[in-house]
Amino acid sequence: MKLSRFIFLIIFILSTSVYAQSKISGKVLDKKDGTPLLGVNILIDELKIGTATSLEGTFEFSNIKNGTYTIRFSYIGHKTIVKKITLPGDDNILVELEEGTVNLNDVVVTGNPFGSDTKDISQSTLSISSLDLLIRSSSNISNTLNFQPGISIRSNGIATARPIIRGFSNNRILILENGLRMGDLSNTSDDHGISNDGSTAERLEVLRGPASLLYGSNALGGVINIITEAIPRYIPDQLDGDINISSSTVNKEFSGSGDLHYGVNDFAFHANYFRRKTANYIGGNGIDVENSDQFSTGYQFGFSFIPSFGLGGLSFSSYNTKYGIPIKTEEEFFNPEDYESPDPVDIEMNKKEFRFLVESSHINSFINSFSLKAGYQDYDHKEILKKSGEVETEFGLKTFSADLSFNHSPILDNLKGVFGFYILNQNYIIEGEEAFTPDADYFGIAGYFVEQLKLGKFNFQFGARLEKNVVKIPQSLMSGQTLPSEEKEYNSLSASMGMVYNLNEEISFFANVANAFRSPTIEELSSYAIHGATGTFDIGNRSLVNEKNIGLDFGFRLRKYHHLVELSGYYNRMKDFIFRAPTDLFYNPQSNAPFNNSGDGFPVYRYRQSEAELYGFELKAQYEITRQISITAIMDYVRGNQVFNSTPLPQMPPFRFSIEPRYADDDYWFGLNWKFVADQNNVADFEEPTKGYGLVDLYLGTKILSGKSYHIVNLRADNLFNQSYRDHLSSIKDFGLMPGRNVKLSYKFLF
């Protein structure tokens, strides 16, 4: 009997020492007046479990193993707080959240494999806060990001706006969703929309400057990462979610979406649905931009298994949209008798997507964590004549991509790094009388590494990527000519080195130099047909080689509790820059000699290569005058030239400046954003200059507590004074003005 009691005592001691568990509880208060805060998001980073505060501001995590944990407290309109606790001991926490705009505890994922503080990253990064996403919400992520430092948009109507970063656009900007490529054709032409609705984003992050090191070809100018909860990364302790409804006047938009999260044991589930319908939008002159309507709908389902040692999850999503390509109306012709009623073109886009994620950060060896991301997208895109219903052109793109990365343990205590492998396989099919390229198959494979070394006040980051891309082009008949089959292979080695010098906790200087690359696309290699979206006859060039860029990024950051300043400059020297060059020829398919120089037919453009340079600067400064009142100023400028003759590159953004005073507290917010855009007179051949303009946007919103839920109402007026203007980057600026005054009312129910 004594022996059994002794054995039981030993087992009890071992179990309590090895498997000892505690609970974490606490209360979150408003620092201003000490009132409890309901609905504060609380996440334990290491365990990937989350909860929210109750009506009394309390929270609790049960059955937590003893150890050290990082807990993050975030709440709309307040500064995020991060606390380190150790169990047993810190099992009851009192947290006071302060109202404010300047947030120093946001975690940037994109381009940051080490999870470093943003002040230790050697490139310019940007993250859009939850309040800003709420205020600037749009049907298109490009419109949400517009007028952020270094980011502008190329518009082909509201439905197809596409971001430009530091003068780079289309296939020089890589748009990701949760770290993987989108698997659509939005980067190939101005009339191709992004296959993501703005309502699904939980967060937007931007990495400005060359990013080929981690993300490969097409990241030459930067990366935009749309972060969603398709595969949940934390386990909620109850059912929660939101319902969104919004309406806009400029295009009679009505949209709705719903989002649900649920957790049970080690499993988390997520579902999302959205629907959006718009009419033609109204330009600042009061005239409809014909055929600029849109209808879209989609959904996501995802689940994840999150045990103590890692995470594994799957998701499926569907995206469907139909939108018009804007056309010139009779009122926009100088001589109305010259007007011929066109047959407008609608684009119908459908994408089905599967995603897979497995990762672990609890490996006790030289490899201490790994992450495997994989995705498959089946994308279909039809260009349909609106009157006849005839399909002019149909594009199909099937994409599989995967990224496997490993983090290793620190070497000599201060050198840590990540290495990985990447694979991409795409099958591209184009059919129809208006097809302007042949089919193509793409294959890419890469290996990379990135290391970080800390030495006192210096933080060094360096790495390299070796990548091989193969394009297979079959024999095809285009515009009466037989184009031969060919296989093109592009090998590239990219590398970067960056440094951050922390003068003190508040001021740091950074510099980064990188060589990046981009492989030619099928449009650039093998176009030989009329391109309806641009009204030109495009001729590809199969002798094109990789674009190569040496980019220098430098600047300084000032980060204090109540103000933040980041000023950065950059210079990019590009060898073998690919561009569409005008010729003195025209193409008339009705003529016996279709190519002529008499001005009869479609202008002929050929793809060429040359040396080019892009340089500029960007500034963002935020200052909190009080806890509720802040002011934000943004400024940017970019120039792009062909080196051999100093001719400006086409569609370069003009100088811009904006200033935004804001008041925000627990219950309501309002603000004014004045935006100024200068004249653009540095234009390429055959490109018209544009006049500058000024816009005023106004917004106000409130958050109303109802039981254990919140009602959030936001009212926004864009282009308040109904300014009539043409944006230099608009693809339809010759006949279509930018949107006039738009009043948008949105309602969000959080539960």
Q: What is the CATH number of the domain that holds 520?
A: 2.40.170.20
Q: Are residues 71 and 192 located together in one domain of the fold?
A: yes
Q: Once rounded to an integer, what is the mean pLDDT over residues 313-318?
A: 96
Same domain as 198, residue 157: yes
Mean pLDDT of 440-463: 94
d(CA 716, CA 744): 5
Work out the pLDDT band at 433, boundaries 50, 70, 90. confident
5 lies in some domain: no
Going by C-alpha positions, the residue among 441, 442, 401 that lies closest to residue 420 is 401
Q: Which residue type, as a one-letter code, is found at position 395?
A: F
User: Locate tokens 């009506």: which residue?
Assistant: 55
Q: What is the SS3 assignment for 401?
A: strand
CA distances from 706 to 242, 702, 750 (A): 14, 13, 10
The total of other beta-carbon atoms located within 10 Å of residue 130's CB is 17
Beta carbons of 180 and 172 less than 8 angstroms apart: no
One domain for residues 407 and 501: yes
105 pLDDT band, cuts 50/70/90, is low
**Residue pair 699/713 in contact by the 8 Å Cβ criterion:** no
Domain co-membership, 304 together with 168: no
Residue 11 placed within a domain: no
210: confidence class by pLDDT, cuts 50, 70, 90: confident
Here the tokens at position 584 are: 């003195």
Identity of residue 601: G
Both 277 and 226 in one domain: the answer is yes
- Mean pLDDT over 183-190 rounds to 84
Dump pLDDT digits (tens) for 531-564. Answer: 766 678 999 999 999 999 999 999 999 988 888 9
- Specify if 390 maps to a domain: yes
Q: Looking at the structure, do residues 185 and 223 belong to the same domain, yes or no?
A: no
Per-residue confidence at 20, pLDDT binned at 50, 70, 90? low
Tally helices (H) and strands (E) across the chain: 5, 42
The pairing of strands 391-411 and 415-431 is antiparallel
Whose structure tokens read 């024999």? Answer: 475
Q: 196 and 144, same structural domain?
A: yes
Phi and psi, residue 215, nearest 5°: -120, -5
| 405 assigned to some structural domain | yes
The 10 Å Cβ neighbour count of residue 336 is: 9
In this structure, what DSSP letter does residue 411 have? E
Mean pLDDT of the chain: 87
Using CA of residue 666, residue 672, residue 678, residue 680, what is the dihedral sign? Answer: positive
Tell whether the model's pLDDT for residue 13 goes beyond 80. no
**From CA 515, how far away is CA 576, in angstroms rounded?**
13
Q: Based on the domain organization, do 198 and 238 belong to the same domain?
A: no
Give, as one character, the DSSP assignment of residue 739.
B
Q: Which of 153, 177, 204 is where one domain is finished?
A: 204
Both 281 and 359 in a single domain? yes
Shared domain for 312 and 183, answered yes or no, is no
Q: Residue 437 is part of which domain span?
A: 205-750
**Does 99 share its domain with 210?**
no
Say which range, 50-64, 350-364, 374-388, 479-493, has the weakest mean pLDDT.
Answer: 50-64
Give pTM, 2 decimals. Answer: 0.88
| Residue 6 falls inside a structural domain | no
Q: Are 226 and 206 in contact (CB under 8 A)?
A: no
CB-CB contact of 731 with 190 (8 Å)? yes
Q: Exposure pattern of 258-267 as b/e (b: 16+ CB <10 Å)?
A: bbbbbbeeee
Determine, yes or no, domain membership for 393: yes
Token code pair at residue 408: 């290793």
487 phi, psi to nearest 5 deg: -120, 120
Q: What is the rounded average pLDDT of the residues 695-708?
A: 92
Q: What is the DSSP letter of 349?
A: E
CATH code of the domain containing 115 = 2.60.40.1120
Confidence at residue 533, expressed as pLDDT on a 0 to 100 scale: 61
Residue 8 lies in a domain: no
Q: Identify whether 13 is part of a domain.
A: no
Count of structural domains, the chain: 2
Phi-psi bin for 39: left (phi > 0), alpha (psi -120 to 50), beta? left
Residues 92, 209 within the same domain:
no
7: enclosing H helix or E strand: helix 2-18
The residue that leads in pLDDT, 580 or 465, is 465
- The residue among 154, 182, 204 that closes a domain is 204
Task: Pick the more confident residue, 66 or 324.
Answer: 324
Strand partners, 24: 61
Asked whether the CA dihedral 462, 465, 466, 471 is positive or negative, the reply is: negative
Boundary of a domain, candidates 171, 204, 237: 204
